[in-house]
Amino acid sequence: MSGLPAAAAEAAWDALLADECVLAPRVDALLAHHGLAQAPRRRYASGSLPVYALGDTQVLKLFPPHEHEHAAVEARVLAALDGALPIPTPQLVAAGDDADGWPYLLMTQLRGQLLVDAWPTLDAAGRDRVADTLGEAIAALHAIHTTPLADLPPDWDRFFAAQAASAVERQAARGLERRWLEQLPDFLARWLPPPAARRVLLHTEIMREHLFVERGCAGVRLSGLIDFEPAMLGDSEYEFASVGLFVACGDARVLTRVLRAYGTPAQALDDTLSCRLMAHALLHRYSNLPWYLKRLPAGGATTIEQLAARWWPLR
């Protein structure tokens, strides 16, 4: 597939990764290798990669051969995080390649319901508790000692420079409307922060689809965070681009509580921070403003600054 144009190759891989007739023998062989041939398995419906629940205790995650780097990153980060956060993360049981060079991870399974499914049923107190715990968990993540992960790809300075230089081109390729596209150069010139002096461990895709919650006598609580293959070392503010878009989803109360629990001073919660978070969203590895606009419509916003205030509203 390497000879195909990028879009065609991506579509071909997507089709292959969705084909259980192709994947089933590969999964059977891996489970047999780990003594799990009899384990009941169920493929999760969501996600871009094949991930299987093995009974109630373990999870198998497959990566295509060209994603060795992502598999290695997730394995290293899971090992570094074991027990370090106030919410659970999967424990790595095994990692390797199958006979055809497909990387895989065998991990413990987290308990609970995905936050994206539970969110509509949570009351205000439950949402506040989730936001507060998430802020504390992100603070703990960013406090992880990173020296053992210093060579984790990509290099932040090179990544930051490349993403900034290609931001307009990438959004144009995704079909961003001209009225927004024309504003991007001036917006980035005004609000793009300088590369951070301090590098922290970033999840980079904290969203409701990657968080679990459980209900108990004390109410709802966060019970897990998954999917660390896009993790990297970088600027702490980069983390909150996805938090605003995909956890708070434009809710000022939720975003403010996450940031306050993280340790952000009240005086720093202003429109300048909203604009910097928009700039980080434009730098994001998977940045796609047309898709964001479908999830969170612009409403009356006509400038990117107004859009930033709408997507990352702060009190």
Q: State the angle between helix axes of 271-283 and 156-173 in degrees (0 to 180), rounded to the nearest 10.
A: 80
Helices (H), the chain: 6-17, 20-33, 68-81, 115-118, 124-142, 156-173, 178-181, 184-191, 239-243, 252-262, 271-283, 289-295, 304-311
- Top-tier CATH class for 6-108: alpha beta
Distance CA 44, CA 49 (A): 9
| pTM, 2 dp | 0.93
Residue 31 to residues 25, 59, 107, 180, 288: CA-CA distances in angstroms?
A: 10, 11, 13, 49, 37
pLDDT tens-digit readout, 250-296 = 999 999 999 999 999 999 999 999 999 999 999 999 999 999 999 99
Distance CA 209, CA 167 (A): 26
pLDDT tens-digit readout, 23-63 = 899 999 999 999 999 999 999 987 778 999 999 999 999 99
Check if the beta carbon of residue 298 is closer than 8 Å to that of residue 272: no
Fold of 113-311: Aminoglycoside 3'-phosphotransferase; Chain: A, domain 2 (3.90.1200)
pLDDT tens-digit readout, 101-132 = 999 999 999 999 999 999 999 999 999 999 99
> How much is the pLDDT for 99?
86
Q: Indicate whether 5 pLDDT > 50.
A: no
pLDDT tens-digit readout, 136-160 = 999 999 999 999 999 999 999 999 9
Residue recorded with tokens 């629940």:
53
Check if the beta carbon of residue 223 is closer than 8 Å to that of residue 212: yes
Check if the beta carbon of residue 59 is closer than 8 Å to that of residue 51: yes
> How much is the pLDDT for 8?
46
> How much is the pLDDT for 9?
56
Record the tokens describing residue 263, joined without a space. 């340790």
Give the up-direction half-sphere exposure of residue 159: CA atoms within 13 A in the CB hemisphere.
18
The band of 11, judged by pLDDT with boundaries at 50, 70 and 90, is low
User: What is the percentage of the chain residues whose pLDDT exceeds 70?
Assistant: 96
Torsions phi, psi of 257, nearest 5? Answer: -65, -40
The full set of domain ranges for the chain reads 6-108, 113-311
**8-state DSSP, 220:** E
Torsions phi, psi of 153, nearest 5? Answer: -80, 155
